[in-house]
Homo-oligomer: A and B are copies of this chain.
Amino acid sequence: MSDKVPRDPADDYTREMAQKRRDFVREHTGVALAHVGRYTFDPALLPGNIENFIGAAQVPIGLAGPLHIRGEHAQGEFYVPMATTEGTLVASYNRGMRLLNECGGVRTTIVEQYMQRSPAFLFDDALAAREFGQWVQQNLDQIRAAAEATTHVGHLVHIYQYAIGPLRHLRFNYTTGDAAGQNMTGKATLAACEWIAAHYPGPTKFLLSGNMDTDKKHSQLNMLVTRGRRVVAEAVIRREPLKRIMGVDTAELFAMRQVSNTGAFLAGSSNNGSHAANGLTALFIACGQDVANVAESHAGVVYSQLLPDGDYYWSITLPSLIVGTYGGGTALATQRECLEMLGCHGAGKADKFAEICAGVVLAGETSLSAAVIHGDWVASHDQLGRNRK
């Protein structure tokens, strides 16, 4: 019995090949994969999305909403598909949406957009690296042309440079339209680096990544200069509905904010808010995003003020929200349906989807923060969650 996973070089994306591989799994592990094999889409859709396809994970989707969003791209009431296996998550976000709706909805604003690749160029000494850096700055137009020749959509906005010893980390910042853009920018940056290597009047050696992308990783750098989209969700929470729906006062929320800030600052945390990762992950799975980008996307900065009338201004900024509505997993069956529910499938929709993500995150922040103060956090998990003793 070979241990080699069966593949068909001629056409590997068929129900038959998937079945063969599930059979292979059964032979090697004794597990039948009955449910995994009962997917409903055509495997011919899958090239570019997966290799060695065997079936599909079915992740339950709950419906939250409506959420009233007053963005530039997302406007109106949205019903939000959230794919998760964590009890209370949908209910909690739902509660937050109700509060936001009663306060006039959530405003959302996209501040900027960049996707990065960061090659590192290596030289003999720091002086050579510095001179190279100046040359790059002087030849930016041609480097841009080389990069943009590989893409219809991507635009190279600027190259940040970070010098360490004889190294020059270059961080290429692109706008990438409605694609998340990691591959697009990888290809463009490679072309740019090859152009540089061919034209720089001196020896060059480069790595396509010097680990400053920082792809699939949280970093302070991402927070500072934006990876993906920098999106703000903000609302003025009125005292009355907050008290009625969640049982707490705005002054309590603001006092708690001071405590939370110390905790996040001292811990060296990626987010001084509560749980952006929860809402984003549920949206990402449902809507065909690259879920690994939760690593970057969950970062956030909460800024709030208690207003003189006792209402509570609350904002969360997601500095590195990475989403796409085109390419990647967005054309797959359930993923496409979920994007369509939000009016977010295809070209021209990524900004809208990003705003929805941010609005959902703020809803979740209100609900969990209030639950922590009110003391019903654990109780609700007891009631709705799989609390294992």
Contact = CB atoms under 8 A, between A and B. Distances in A.
Given A109-B126, A120-B259, A221 B219 contact: no
A245 interface: no
A62 interface: yes
Interface string A29-67: 101111110111100001111111111111111111110
Contacts of A29: 79, 340-343
A334 B58 contact: yes
Interface string A1-21: 001010000000000000001
Contact of A341 (B33, B280, B327): B33
Nearest to A68: B3
A149 to B, nearest CB: 10
Interface string A257-268: 011111111111
A288 interface: yes
A83 B342 CA distance: 23
Interface string A352-379: 0000000000000000000011010110
Q: How many copies does the complex hold?
A: 4
Given A86-B292, A295-B298, A269 B166 contact: no
Q: Which of A216, A372, A387 gathers the greatest number of chain B CB atoms within 10 Å?
A: A216
A143 interface: no
Interface centre among A288, A291, A315, A372 (most CB of B within 10 A): A291
B210 A259 contact: yes
A223 B58 CA distance: 32
Given A162-B224, A270-B295, A63 B59 contact: no
Given A34-B337, A221-B267, A266-B164, A52 B56 contact: no
Contacts of A35: 40-41, 333-334, 337
B292 A281 contact: yes
Contacts of A332: 58, 60, 85
Nearest to A91: B51
A211 B269 contact: yes
Contacts of A187: 378, 381-382, 387
Interface in A297-319: 298-299, 301, 303-305, 313, 315-317, 319
B381 A186 contact: yes
A351 to B, nearest CB: 13
A58 B331 CA distance: 12
Interface residues of A, number: 176
A361 to B, nearest CB: 11
A81 interface: yes
Contact of A335 (B85, B126, B326): B85
A64 B265 CA distance: 32
Contacts of A133: 111
Contact of A328 (B62, B86, B272): B86
A386 B183 contact: yes
A207 B265 contact: no
A151 interface: yes
A196 interface: no
A340 B278 CA distance: 26
Contact of A31 (B24, B33, B341): B341
A209 B40 contact: no
Of the candidates A32, A154, A295, the one having the most CB atoms from chain B within 10 angstroms of its own CB is: A295
B328 A183 contact: no
Task: Return the 5 tightest CB-CB contacts between A and B, nearest first.
Answer: A85-B329, A220-B268, A211-B263, A165-B315, A48-B386
13 contacts: A25-B341, A50-B61, A55-B60, A59-B59, A165-B232, A167-B262, A184-B389, A208-B378, A214-B263, A214-B267, A258-B305, A291-B294, A295-B298
